């Protein structure tokens, strides 16, 4: 059977499997007899570009069950995984709804939109802080992965979230954005804008809930210093047409 390796972001781990990405995503979200249910976000890894893979261990452990079913998962690492995965080994990103619908995102070219003053980022690895920032996604990655600073991280995986008119006016209507404690969010945005020196402001120290996929703005970013990959999120038109079943699942999940 085929072998696959995945970098899971939630929780951070490196996993080998005989399941292709679509089936693996469904397995992570809804499980089998365990009857688990929850979101999943992971990258497929190019095994040929991972020199540190324990190939003998994978061959030994990644074997079908006695009844012929494929082996679903073999954990290869669970600690400080992302920083040791080369950027060039990252293939498609997969985001899964809590009922197992799988959406594949391929890396694309990032074109920063004009007019935004403030951005809102949900960090996944290695920390899960939600942060407002004056920095664009590439600038934010460079800022936090600058290891010459006392506070830094080797690599960063984030998603940019919608602020709509709040990105320019802290007291604009929030409409249907499902963020907890909107008054606190407004206060954070206002404090950030009023300070010339401050580039970032923590909104939530540790985000423990599941991500509302309908709040995703441009997409996901992973990077280190000047090197980053951008995984664009589909437009509303494509979500309602090409990815209708995934989008319907994502919307139901959020309410």
Residue pair 182/173 in contact by the 8 Å Cβ criterion: no
How confident is the model at residue 247, as a pLDDT? 96
Residue pair 157/124 in contact by the 8 Å Cβ criterion: yes
How confident is the model at residue 255, as a pLDDT? 46
Overall average pLDDT of the 216-222 stretch: 96
Residue 3 to residues 11, 15, 72, 101, 178: CA-CA distances in angstroms?
Answer: 21, 11, 10, 22, 39
Overall average pLDDT of the 167-195 stretch: 91
Sheet holding 227-232, edge to edge: 200-204, 130-133, 119-125, 156-161, 216-224, 227-232
Overall average pLDDT of the 100-114 stretch: 92
Of 10, 43, 16, residue with least CA distance to 29: 10
How confident is the model at residue 126, as a pLDDT? 84
Indicate whether 161 pLDDT > 50.
Answer: yes
Indicate whether 220 pLDDT > 50.
Answer: yes
Indicate whether 253 pLDDT > 70.
Answer: no
Overall average pLDDT of the 216-226 stretch: 96
Sheet holding 4-9, edge to edge: 74-77, 12-17, 4-9, 40-45, 90-96, 102-105
Rounded to 5 degrees, φ, ψ at 217 are: -90, -95
DSSP state of 113: P
Element (H, E) at 54: none
What band does 217 get if pLDDT is binned at 50, 70 and 90? very high
Residue pair 24/33 in contact by the 8 Å Cβ criterion: no
Overall average pLDDT of the 44-62 stretch: 93
Indicate whether 209 pLDDT > 80.
Answer: no
């Amino acid at each position: 059977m085929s072998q696959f390796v995945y970098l899971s972001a939630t929780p951070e781990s490196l996993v080998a499997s005989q399941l292709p990405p679509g089936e693996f995503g469904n397995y992570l979200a809804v499980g089998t007899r365990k009857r688990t249910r929850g979101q999943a976000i992971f990258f497929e890894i190019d095994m040929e570009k991972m020199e540190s893979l324990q190939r003998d261990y994978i061959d030994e452990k990644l074997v079908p069950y006695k009844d012929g079913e494929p082996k679903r998962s073999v954990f290869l690492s669970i600690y400080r995984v992302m920083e040791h995965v080369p950027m060039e080994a990252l293939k498609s990103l997969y985001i899964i709804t809590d009922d197992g619908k799988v959406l594949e995102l391929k890396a694309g070219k990032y074109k920063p939109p004009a007019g935004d003053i403030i951005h809102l980022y949900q960090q996944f690895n290695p920390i899960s802080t939600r942060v407002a920032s004056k920095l664009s996604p590439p600038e934010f990655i460079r800022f936090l992965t600058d290891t010459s600073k006392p506070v830094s991280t080797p690599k960063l995986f984030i998603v940019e979230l919608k602020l709509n008119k709040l990105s320019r006016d802290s007291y604009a209507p929030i409409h249907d954005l499902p963020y907890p404690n909107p008054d606190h969010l407004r206060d954070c945005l206002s404090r950030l804008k009023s300070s010339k020196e401050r580039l970032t402001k923590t909104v939530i120290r540790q985000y423990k809930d599941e991500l509302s996929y309908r709040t995703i703005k441009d997409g996901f970013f992973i990077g280190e210093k000047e090197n980053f990959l951008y995984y664009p999120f589909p437009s509303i038109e494509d979500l309602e047409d090409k990815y209708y079943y995934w989008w319907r699942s994502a919307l139901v999940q959020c309410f």
